[in-house]
Structure 1
Amino acid sequence: MKKILLLAVFTVLGFMNVNAQEIKFGAKAGLNFSTVNGSNTDNIDYVTSYHVGLVSEIPISEKFSFQPELMYSRQGYSFNNDVVAMNYLNIPLMGKYYVTKGLSLEAGPQIGFLLSAKNEEMKVTNSFTTFDFGANFGIGYKLENGLNFSARYNLGITRVDTDNRNGVFQVSVGYFFF
């Protein structure tokens, strides 16, 4: 099994025909506007929080790039003025299509691992699933100096509790160091 996986990785890398000098590494941070969607969400409101992490951009062709990320994301929701804060380690795997120079449409899956969850009075991590899978859709703009901006929506696919899924709108600013 390990040999098959290794062969698949080398095959994909061989087809990418990427010059290592073109791979960019950087960091980004921004605001989250998060809630949960599902049944019995009439009294649930958005909460504003943040995300921060590392990014890489790997060019595949002139118009298409692959952007894996490793993000700490504080998400949650408010229910009758009681905020439930959920802390995730998220791994978005974004495909970026450059519509014009600098402007990209982005989409891809996201894997999330719940680190902790609590409301104002106690830890409630056991009330939520520890694995979160979602789909991201967004838009980005990258300047030549490495500064970049993005807006995306994470549509939760797996349930975080018995009835609900995460829904997170993010706005970010980042910088590619090299």
Structure 2
Amino acid sequence: MKKIILCAIAIMAFGFANAQKTRFGVKGGLNISTIGGDDHANALVGFQLGGFAEINVWKKLYIQPELLYSAQGGKFDAYNGQRDYNVNLNYINIPVVAKYYITKQFTVEAGPQLGLLVSSKSPYDEKTVDVGFNLGAGYNFTNNFSVGIRYTIGLTSAYGYGNDYYDDYDYGYYDNRYTNNVLALTAAYKF
């Protein structure tokens, strides 16, 4: 946790040192999330809300660290006489994406994300840290207002089991990693 905080401070310090090339903003939007690796999982609709800094590092290349509250999870079909249920996982996500302006209006982005679980409603034992990788694109209507689409590919299991505890036993259905996968549709405003 200390490394995360120090990294965030370093990014912000870099941004303030280059204040003429840094813009800050807010963003929010719709999440369509699933738990990958489970055949019974369906999409769950949630939201995300937070802020970001857009730091120009070279010509059309920017680094964009963000701090987002994100409601994620999945809907699960009933089986063996059980009822359908939702897994609701709420994270503070810290993505850091490299953003490239192909034109003044159109951007593409990619980069890692660290998620810290803040609350959950689930019958499972969730891990408190989640790691993912983002791929996305955006369109700038004006210098201040833009929209974006981003897909987050989960790289670590969302649950405390998966490849650890149950691998000592021969339970084939626990061999998958259950990852957070999120399609986000957002709007952003830069100051």
Aligned twin of 1:168: 182
Aligned twin of 1:98: 101
1:46-103 deviation digits (Å, cap 9, x = unpaired): 0001000001100112210000000000001011231111000000001001111121
Distance 2:128 2:19 in 1: 35
Name the SS for the 1:54 alignment partner.
Answer: strand
% identity of equivalent residues: 39
Name the SS for the 1:160 alignment partner.
Answer: coil
Distance 1:115 1:19 in 2: 32
Question: What's the offset of the Cα at 1:19?
Answer: 4.0
1:23 aligns with 2:22: yes
Q: Which residue identity is paired with 2:28? A: A
> For residues 94 and 19 of structure 1, do their structure 2 counterparts lie closer, same or farther at Cα, with a shift above 3 Å needed?
same
Name the SS for the 1:129 alignment partner.
Answer: coil
Aligned twin of 2:70: 73
Distance 1:158 1:33 in 2: 19
Distance 2:24 2:141 in 1: 14
Aligned twin of 2:133: 135
* Unmatched segments (≥5 aa) in structure 1: none
Aligned twin of 1:158: 156
Question: What's the offset of the Cα at 1:27?
Answer: 0.3
The answer to which of 106-115 and 93-102 deviates more is 93-102
Name the SS for the 1:137 alignment partner.
Answer: strand
Moved segments of 4+, more than 6 Å: none
Aligned twin of 1:115: 118
The normalised TM-score by structure 1 is 0.83
Tell me the matched-pair count. Answer: 160
Aligned twin of 1:82: 85
Distance 1:144 1:34 in 2: 29
Aligned twin of 2:39: 42
Q: 1:64 aligns with which of 51, 61, 65?
A: 61
Q: Which residue identity is paired with 1:36? A: I
* Unmatched segments (≥5 aa) in structure 2: 1-5, 78-83, 163-176
Structure number with higher strand proportion: 1
Q: Which residue identity is paired with 1:150? A: G
The normalised TM-score by structure 2 is 0.77
What's the RMSD between the two structures over aligned residues?
2.2
Distance 2:145 2:69 in 1: 20
Question: What's the offset of the Cα at 1:28?
Answer: 0.3
1:13-47 deviation digits (Å, cap 9, x = unpaired): 5xx9x741221111000000001111xx2221000
